[in-house]
Structure 1
Amino acid sequence: MHRLHHRARKALVHQLVESRRLRGRGEVLRGHHNVNYVRRSGLVLALLLGAVPFTRFKYRVPLRTVEVVPRIWPREAEVLGVVCRYLREVPPCLADLGGGSVHRYRPGRALSDSGAAADVGEEIMRSFASFFVRTARIPVTELPARPEDWPPDGDSQGFLDWLVRFTRERVHAPNRDRFGALFDAVGVPDDAMGRFAAHHRCRASRPFRLLHTDVHRANVVVRGSRLAVIDWELAIFGDPLHDLATHLVRMAYSKEEQERMTRLWAEAMTDAGLAELTAGLHEDLPVYIAFEYAQSVFPDIMRAALELPEDADTGRFHAAADRIERATRRAREPLRLVDLPGRDRVVEALREWHAARE
């Protein structure tokens, strides 16, 4: 009886949020993995969600897209159930509808509104350092179960090996049929991740913690002097240096900002009694940064091609080529890439792929 009641409530919530989505009164925020519809709740919907009537909520609908990042926990709601007990500023999931989810809306401005490479300042960096410490303190025992093949706690090299294997077997290899000619044409060979693994190793062991893995400007909401990190769907359990590395790269920090953020992170961890998480920092952080450059070359190339419209003009092809050239330049050293083609060849390769797709 309880299960039937739960199912009926879920169906009603889905019907109500869909009706509000279709009315189109509110923001639509599109990311790589989801479309987020920001709407206001009516009286009945608020009652079902346990929310204040007429406040805003966010309805997240997953996009069908190529798999490029690991998701060890399929339901973001499971992770948020734990996270929100310890990070009260993170908006909770109010309803998991299977094909979508309803979240409390966090008012404020996205950090990305200030520009993709704007100086974030000392105060924000210290807030990030505090965020990483508080995330590291979330009890590991309360997290959802990990996959059976997950490396044991503290096996930092095993964790890196898992990430490399995922990139090779779940991102690169399955997409060779569709994008292989384009990968080859822009200088990314079939054995790219093997080259990375042969030259990059972790030297130290660090205890595993909950990692967000996607702390960048668009996932940070600022209100006054406080920030909240949203969108936990890509959270995993692993080496904390991986979380720091993805943050440093995806924030588009300058070299000086990367060094400053790293110092603040290490100081905050040490002051919090978590110095063991900083073991081998200076030797192993560059390894994880190199991995971020290496793995991102595949989604960057595929997205640049996929986002070309059917009637793409010369400007669109050159913009896509810019994106690919930036990705391959950053991955040149980690993947031991040689003979990267010039701009004309990249544009030509995109045109060939685009014509074959059509």
Structure 2
Amino acid sequence: MSPESASPARRRAAEVSGDESTVEGPLRGYHHETYVVPLPGAPGAAGSARWKCREPRSNLLWFDRRCFVSEELLLPALRDRITHVPDVFEFEGLHLQRFIEGRTLGTLHPAGHAVPRELLRQIVRLFGQTAAVTSGTLAVERLCSPEDRPEDGDSDGFMERLVCFTEERVYAANLDEFGSLFAELGLDDDAFKRLRKHVAGLRERPFCLLHADLHRENLVVDADRRLWTIDWELAMVGDPLYELATHLHLMRYPSWQRRQVVEGWRRAVEAARPGGTHGWRHDLDLLLGYKRAQSVFTDVVREAVSLGRAGRSPGPRVALAAARLHGVLCAAALPLGLDSVPGPAEIGTALVRWSRTHTEEGPLPGTL
């Protein structure tokens, strides 16, 4: 690739490494364009460690609340408290994360499959370690507003701020462009009133650090079978049960292993943060309901955008997107109070109708 045709992120990675031929990437990832480079002068065995050089992608749909100023400032504060998180190295004014050599848990054991016992033990240990980290013991600058910092233990207040974020930043902020599609799928302002009613009355639990995005692609297994936790960008302080709900929602464990994970979480969190599991039997399904409801709004937007011009006429891609959205809507029918859910054919028609009014006509990429 010529320097002229390289993206700014790749050019920056080449500058950092000093040798374009050593740059690997871009890596798979949604929020950042990421490259891996060696830095002979950086920490690591004989300079063998490699480091991630990344830049935020432009024109992204950002649907996740952020609490800390930066992941690179958070990680050093966790180094002696959380087992196996990436090191951070400052190089010419940049904070670079160490690249963890290994394979993601999702590559080794995809969603729906069981996680081996020795790796599951490390996930449970992580639950306990994060539960032991509180806002009072974490001297890292936060950017969330005061109203997004409810009093310690106010689980209802914590959930209300999450619902507000989904309502304001995902739903309302996209009404101008996606309002007609939301409406055809039965999603309106009243859905949030019903969602608030569904999640009301959570038990109080003392707050702690949450990774808040613990899925299989954010867990990396190295050659020694050590499990590293990466991508702390969405970390926040809040209800420890929300961590479990998010993890279960994203991991898709087999039902028998899901029960093991819940029990492991209960033991680890209660030992590290007494009271942190209070009322979990009642509240876990409520928090899982919120996660399913949240997914509806983000997935509708992402599926429509992903289809692009291919959504202007019925076809396999539209049918697949419609089937996915049908499943998401069915899963969230209870927390959103939906009396009925449109079928896949109706959803496909809605996607085509929206696409025809919101995308330009013309040949699809690769068809010229």
Shorter-chain TM-score: which interval?
0.7 to 0.9
Structure 1 residue identity aligned to 2:164: R
Structure 2 residue identity aligned to 1:38: V
Q: Is 2:264 aligned against 1:264?
A: yes
Deviation at 1:19, TM superposition (A): 6.9
Give the secondary structure class of the aligned counterpart of 1:256. Answer: helix
Counterparts of 1:350 and 1:61 in 2: how far apart (Å)?
32
1:109-124 aligned within 5 A: 109-114=103-108, 115-124=110-119
* 1:34-62 deviation line (CA, Å, top 9, x unaligned): 23222333x4xxx3x55553532122322
Counterparts of 1:210 and 1:163 in 2: how far apart (Å)?
16
* 1:126-182 deviation line (CA, Å, top 9, x unaligned): 221110101122253224345311101111111111111111111111111111111
Counterparts of 2:343 and 2:89 in 1: how far apart (Å)?
50
Deviation at 1:29, TM superposition (A): 2.2
Residues 82 and 129 of structure 2 are in contact (CA less than 8 Å); yes or no, is this contact kept in structure 1? yes
Deviation at 1:191, TM superposition (A): 2.1
TM-score, length basis structure 2: 0.84
Residues 77 and 96 of structure 1 are in contact (CA less than 8 Å); yes or no, is this contact kept in structure 2? no
Give the secondary structure class of the aligned counterpart of 2:232. Answer: coil
1:189-268 aligned within 5 A: 189-223=188-222, 224-268=224-268
Deviation at 1:308, TM superposition (A): 1.4
- Residue of structure 2 in register with 1:8 after alignment: none
Deviation at 1:294, TM superposition (A): 0.9
Alignment partner for residue 37 of structure 1, among 25, 35, 38? 35
Residues 23 and 35 of structure 2 are in contact (CA less than 8 Å); yes or no, is this contact kept in structure 1? no
- Residue of structure 1 in register with 2:84 after alignment: 89
Where do 5+ consecutive residues of structure 2 fail to align? 1-10, 360-368
Deviation at 1:310, TM superposition (A): 3.0
Give the secondary structure class of the aligned counterpart of 1:276. Answer: coil
Structure 2 residue identity aligned to 1:324: L
* 1:273-311 deviation line (CA, Å, top 9, x unaligned): 533101111011111111111111111111111111434
- C-alpha change, 1:17 and 1:352, in structure 2 (3 Å) is farther
- C-alpha change, 1:101 and 1:314, in structure 2 (3 Å) is farther
Counterparts of 2:22 and 2:183 in 1: how far apart (Å)?
43
Alignment partner for residue 104 of structure 1, among 98, 111, 117? 98
Please provide the CA RMSD for this pair: 2.5
- Residue of structure 2 in register with 1:325 after alignment: 326
Deviation at 1:124, TM superposition (A): 2.3
- Residue of structure 1 in register with 2:7 after alignment: none
Deviation at 1:338, TM superposition (A): 2.3
Structure 2 residue identity aligned to 1:55: A
- C-alpha change, 1:188 and 1:26, in structure 2 (3 Å) is same
* 1:64-116 deviation line (CA, Å, top 9, x unaligned): 32231111223112221212232241112324999x85210111110010322
Counterparts of 2:355 and 2:296 in 1: how far apart (Å)?
19
Give the secondary structure class of the aligned counterpart of 1:277. Answer: coil
Give the secondary structure class of the aligned counterpart of 1:36. Answer: strand
Deviation at 1:356, TM superposition (A): 1.8
Alignment partner for residue 120 of structure 2, among 125, 131, 147? 125
- Residue of structure 2 in register with 1:340 after alignment: 341
Alignment partner for residue 148 of structure 1, among 142, 146, 149? 146
